[in-house]
């Protein structure tokens, strides 16, 4: 019997024993090492996704770990292999899949939301979801591969090119990762963030950051771009004010990439879209190539994952960690240590 963190109802989590079935055909059993808590996990914790999440539900999809057992018919994997998981299971039959867009399958099973996730000591998943990790990459840093893959996909969807001027509105974990990936693509980047703590961290990573509460961001962009406006803006804040800033800073034929999940409709200045021939692009999840690029970016240090980890807690303390994340501004990324060693240390 192993332990798992379970969502029971709004603002209620527990850590409880969980049975582990042997891997079936095409499956592998993993020992998760580190699991990141992300914004979607917080939405679940708040009860905002009860129509989709069937309690009790094991959470977690940003992870790293090792293979424990392989099921019948699985080739290329063996116990001890370091892996992360691309947590998507699609049907391959819907119109989106038939067009080659399996990552936004119309009947997508997002593992960790629609089915049991990684915040447990043993986890069985389809072998097809595994992404190999370099043996030299520490597993705590590797837990940030999944959100880095989100950033890689976002930058690709926005078509960021070398020399372009990019504004990222929202300097949380995904916003900072987008800024780092866009910078690696050769763009000039500015980050807009309210939190002083997050502005400080972004600055320590060599990013230029503006405080929208104290500065006129639109005017700063005009000065920075010689009145031209930004080529690309990423809306990562999830706030109405963030949408307004992202639209306002764009120059002629600029691209707005919508990354944040907005739980309710927002007012958008459509006249600005007409007047400047702007483009709005949605970006959701990732594909395998995004994951593989993310592994490389983290492994080579282009994405300094260790700098984004605010705290690591044992699995038994995960419920309390969700509460700590609610304040948002003073932390970046909290990892849950799911190893047996962490459990023993906490007892």
Residue among 232, 269, 224 nearest 252 (CA): 232
Interacting residues of 135 by C-beta distance below 8 A, sequence separation 6+: 82
Alpha-carbon distance of 232 to 250, in angstroms, equals 7
The CA-to-CA distance between both ends of the chain, in Å, stands at 16
140-to-121, 265, 297, 313 alpha-carbon distances in Å: 15, 37, 15, 12
Residue among 186, 177, 133 nearest 308 (CA): 177
Catalytic residues: 40, 43
- Inter-residue contact 220 to 208 (CB < 8 Å): no
Interacting residues of 221 by C-beta distance below 8 A, sequence separation 6+: 165, 167, 190, 229, 230, 249
């Amino acid at each position: 019997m192993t332990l798992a963190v379970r969502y029971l109802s709004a603002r209620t989590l527990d850590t409880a024993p969980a049975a582990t079935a042997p891997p079936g055909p095409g499956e592998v059993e993993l020992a998760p090492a580190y699991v990141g808590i992300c914004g979607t996990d917080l939405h679940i914790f708040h009860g905002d996704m009860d129509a989709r999440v069937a309690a009790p539900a094991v959470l977690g999809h940003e992870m790293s770990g090792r293979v424990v057992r392989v099921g019948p018919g699985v080739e290329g994997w063996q116990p001890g292999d370091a892996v992360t998981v691309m947590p998507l299971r699609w049907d391959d039959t819907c119109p989106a899949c038939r067009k080659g867009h399996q990552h936004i399958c119309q009947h997508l099973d997002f593992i960790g939301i629609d089915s049991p996730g990684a915040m447990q000591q043993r986890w069985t998943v389809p072998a097809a979801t595994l992404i190999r990790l370099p043996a030299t990459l520490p597993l705590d840093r590797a837990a940030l591969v999944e959100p880095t893959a989100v950033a890689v996909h976002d930058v690709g969807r926005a078509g960021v090119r070398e020399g372009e001027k990019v504004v990222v509105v929202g300097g949380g974990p995904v916003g900072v990762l987008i800024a780092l990936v866009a910078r690696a693509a050769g763009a000039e980047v500015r980050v807009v963030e309210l939190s002083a703590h997050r502005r400080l961290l972004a600055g320590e990573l060599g990013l230029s950051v503006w405080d929208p509460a104290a500065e006129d961001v639109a005017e700063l962009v005009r000065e920075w771009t010689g009145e031209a406006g930004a080529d690309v803006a990423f809306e990562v804040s999830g706030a109405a004010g963030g949408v307004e800033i992202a639209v306002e800073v764009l120059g002629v034929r600029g691209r707005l990439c919508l990354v944040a999940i907005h739980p309710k409709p927002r007012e958008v200045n459509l006249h600005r879209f007409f007047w400047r021939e702007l483009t709005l692009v949605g970006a959701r999840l990732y594909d395998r190539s995004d994951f593989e690029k993310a592994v490389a970016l983290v492994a080579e240090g282009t994405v300094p994952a260790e700098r984004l980890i605010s705290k690591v807690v044992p699995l038994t303390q995960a419920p309390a960690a969700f509460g700590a994340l609610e304040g948002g501004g003073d932390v970046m990324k909290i990892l849950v240590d799911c190893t047996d060693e962490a459990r023993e240390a906490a007892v």
